[in-house]
Amino acid sequence: MSDETYRARNPGAGGETHQTAQDDQVLTTQQGTPVADDQNTLRAGLRGPALIEDFHFREKIFHFDHERIPERVVHARGFGVHGVFETTDSLADLTSADIFQRKGRRRRCSCASRRWRARRGSFDLARDVRGFAVKFYTKEGNWDLVGNNIPVFFIQDPIKFPDLVHAAKPEPDRGFPQAQTAHDNFWDFISLTPESMHMIMWVMSDRAIPRSFRFMEGFGVHTFRFLTKDGKSTFVKFHWKPKLGLQSVMWNEAVKINGADPDFHRRDLWDAIGAGDPPEWELGVQLFDEAFADTFDFDVLDPTKIIPEELVPVRIVGRLVLDRSVDNFFAETEQVAFLTQNVVPGIGFSNDPLLQGRNFSYLDTQLKRLGSPNFTHIPINQPRGCPVMNFQQDGHMAMRNPIGRVNYEPNSWGGPRESPERGYRHFEQEVAGATRQIRPESFADHYSQARQFYLSQTPVEQKHIGDALVFELSKVEREDIRARLVSHLVNIDGDLAKTVADGLGLAKKPAAAKPFVAVRTDLEPSDALSILKRLPADFRGRKVGILITDGADADLLNGLIAAVEKEGAAYEIIAPKVGGATLSNGVLQPAMQKIDGGPSVLYDAVAVIVSEKGAALLAIDKCAKDFVNDAHAHCKVIGHTAEAADFLAKAGIAPEDQDEGYVDLAAGPKGFIAACRAGRIWARELKTDLDAVAPK
């Protein structure tokens, strides 16, 4: 294939989305040098490593890394905690990494989750990608496993990262919108970047509005390598699996949570650890060799692709327990520095171009954000359990320097020396091919896995993806951008494209965008990609909101509390006054929330235990009626006493509206807990949402 033909077919090297200069407005470097290719970094061969010679990429990422001080450019809104990692399955035959040598080996670690687009002061439950980063303090140095709660990314080449973030962040002429992508710039960029379509399916799904950090998966995103001492390589992709299972919230619910408690995710993790119920994840790995990589339908170096778990099962090799909150937020969360380049002997990199660019970029970022090349002297970033010995010296905030006269190597005075036996060895590989700014044709399929993800969802989850796209694109002012995005959806699923086109009121559904390669329709759906297909069997880790009034049945309330605690769930008492309510036995039951400040969106299920007099008072209170109305609209299980019937009716919930999710507590709490274990009553959404349609 000639370079011209290849370039025409290659999305990152030209083709339909390539924008040529107009009116002599040629893109240049800061030095005024005209730029020939702003889509691809320079690399050795089609699938080879990135080259430091690429001065345009170096300048572009350097400038981007230094745009903000002192806040992080991306992932500014976050929360950090400490934990313990335990190896549960030895990988000594695959890697020399000390942390994986023996079953039962335990290491302290720090973990942080951060919102991708948010500023520090934004709310927790925006629709967004969540970072998921763990710093392992090993005997061989710090290993940072830096990832997200979504296993793919928007772009294939790191040179586009500044453009992606600029497009997603507040528009520069107005400084808004904040912490959201529902605006023209983002969707303009996305609609001109078809490689992002797989990621868009994930971000528009319920994965982007998780119930809390505790119910969120984590992924290393890229393909890494395990390396043995004799140089044997095995490809690896990392997965974090929450022991509590996956759970998200509904969009309407997320909007209201942000108003009621903008720190909802932070508070949830803090409360769980403080209550002695530390969340736990299993570390899993997908392992495969060059032979599998060569036969896989997609390129394992493409960060916009996954390897379905049905093809390569996830092998569980460890457990992470987050058991301690930080002592000082600034010192241990704001100052923590995660770098993809931080690996230990036995763990290496693939030629994934986005990973190569991140390795280059992250160190540069820390220099600007933390103000010194000595950021590893900050306690949270210091290696633990291993010595640090080198001849680096001086710089701002230097806390350790060489002692004596020698500060160079080699020298004849003594001091640390390299160790061929113990030192880090990079994977040795043959690299051949012309240096060029171009992407391999194996990166050119942008729709097939996006289609696979969408078809792997339940009808409810598919509806939510459609709803999210309609909401986001409804905020876009330019109709041509909306139509252009829908043209990509046609390649993913015709019904989805029609749903979005109808929801936007487009007069005519756009024709399909021309794909660079034919869209595959033979990829099997994967249950691992769905949240609702893998619901947990219990209600552990969730929270029940119990609304009470004066005169509420004391025995019934106490029995419900005992059942909730036995299940491993939490509860909060809500009352008309935060001081509490006097129960039927004359005992004052303290409340944790006043009804105005404890809306049902804060809870996974609710119960209403009231007296007749109390129910009559609640029936005239707007917040109390909103409490049950929102719980109903958000498809939650609602436990209630007979005395609550009139209150529910006056709130607009007639007896005929009450489904199997309404549980009479008079028979005891057993039925309520059983209903909670089953999750939300999704059939109810068909009756409470104007856009809902019955699944085919």
Q: Nearest 5 degrees, angle CA 472-CA 476-CA 482?
A: 85
Note if 166 is an active site residue. Answer: no
**Residue 301, class by beta-carbon neighbours within 10 Å (0-12 exposed, 13-18 middle, 19+ buried)?**
buried
**Cβ pair 596, 578 in contact under 8 A:** no
Nearest to 455 by CA among 531, 535, 532, 529: 529
Note if 75 is an active site residue. Answer: yes
The one-letter amino acid code at 457 reads Q
Q: What residue has token string 């696979």?
A: 452
d(CA 526, CA 513): 25
d(CA 478, CA 94): 53
DSSP output for 582-604: E-TTS-EE--SEETTT--GGG-S
**Cβ pair 464, 251 in contact under 8 A:** yes
Which letter, b or e, does each residue of 483-496 get, where b requires 16 or more Cβ atoms within 10 Å of its Cβ? bbbbbbbbbbbeeb
Residue 390: CB atoms within 10 A of its CB come to 11
Nearest to 462 by CA among 147, 204, 264: 204
Q: Nearest 5 degrees, angle CA 124-CA 125-CA 126?
A: 105
Contacts of the segment 98-103: beta carbons below 8 A, 24+ positions apart: 98/138, 98/139, 98/140, 98/344, 98/345, 98/346, 99/136, 99/138, 99/139, 99/140, 99/143, 99/344, 100/317, 100/318, 100/346
**Residue 172, class by beta-carbon neighbours within 10 Å (0-12 exposed, 13-18 middle, 19+ buried)?**
exposed
Contacts of 604 (CB under 8 A, 6+ apart): 211, 247, 539, 542, 543, 544, 569, 636, 676
Nearest to 178 by CA among 253, 119, 251: 119
Query: Phi/psi at 15 (nearest 5 deg)?
Result: 70, -160
Q: How far is CA 206 from CA 254, 459, 467, in A?
A: 11, 13, 11
Residue 639: CB atoms within 10 A of its CB come to 25
d(CA 132, CA 331): 19
- The DSSP symbol for 75 reads S
d(CA 128, CA 119): 12
CA dihedral 306, 310, 311, 313 (to 10 degrees): 90
Give the active site residue among 56, 75, 183, 446.
Answer: 75
| Sign of CA pseudo-dihedral 647, 652, 657, 663 | negative
Beta bridge partners of 619: none
Pinpoint the alpha helices (H) of 532-587.
554-567
Give the active site residue among 10, 148, 359, 381.
Answer: 148
The one-letter amino acid code at 182 reads A
Which letter, b or e, does each residue of 319-352 get, where b requires 16 or more Cβ atoms within 10 Å of its Cβ? bbbbeebbeeeeebbbbbbbbbebbbbbbbbbbb
d(CA 696, CA 693): 9
Annotated catalytic sites, by residue?
Answer: 75, 148
